[in-house]
Amino acid sequence: MDAKTYCLYVLVMAGVTYLIRAIPLTLFQRKLNSPFIRSFLYYVPYAVLGAMTFPDVFTSAGAPAPSLLGTAAALLLAWRGKSMVVVALGACAAALCASLVLMLI
């Protein structure tokens, strides 16, 4: 891809990103009173983030077994109320141990 095409793609993406953020500001100038719409808009970023990252969780370790074990460890630690750092480190440690065991087998 040449530099001209690349710059054009970047400009189009910047324009689309700007429009997505600017249109709601111009359309909704008064406060939203509907509890449904307010709760919907509150949870959309979390749902999108989950939908974007969760499929990659199962391929992050290079093989399904360590990825599933790391995911299970993360879910267990999160369910027990541990902090995000502990959950991330526990999931990484579980996936690393599972990968090392698979290499030995």
Q: State the total domains in the chain.
A: 1
Q: Is residue 69 situated within a structural domain?
A: yes
Per the domain annotation, does 41 fall within a domain? Answer: no
Q: For residue range 68-94, what is the model confidence (pLDDT) as tens digits?
A: 999 999 999 999 999 999 999 999 999
Is residue 24 situated within a structural domain? yes
Task: Examine residue 68 and state whether it is found in any structural domain, yes or no.
Answer: yes
Q: Which two tokens stand for residue 45?
A: 């970023």
For residue 25, tell me if it sits in a domain.
yes
Q: Model pTM?
A: 0.58
Instruction: Considering only residues 54 and 71, tell me which one the structure prediction assigns the higher pLDDT.
Output: 71
Does 34 reside within a domain? no
Concatenated DSSP letters for 9-35? HHHHHHHHHHHHHHHHHHH--S----H
Q: Whole domain around residue 91: which residue ranges?
A: 3-29+55-104
In the predicted structure, residue 29 carries a pLDDT above the cut 80: no
Whether 43 maps to a domain, the answer reads: no
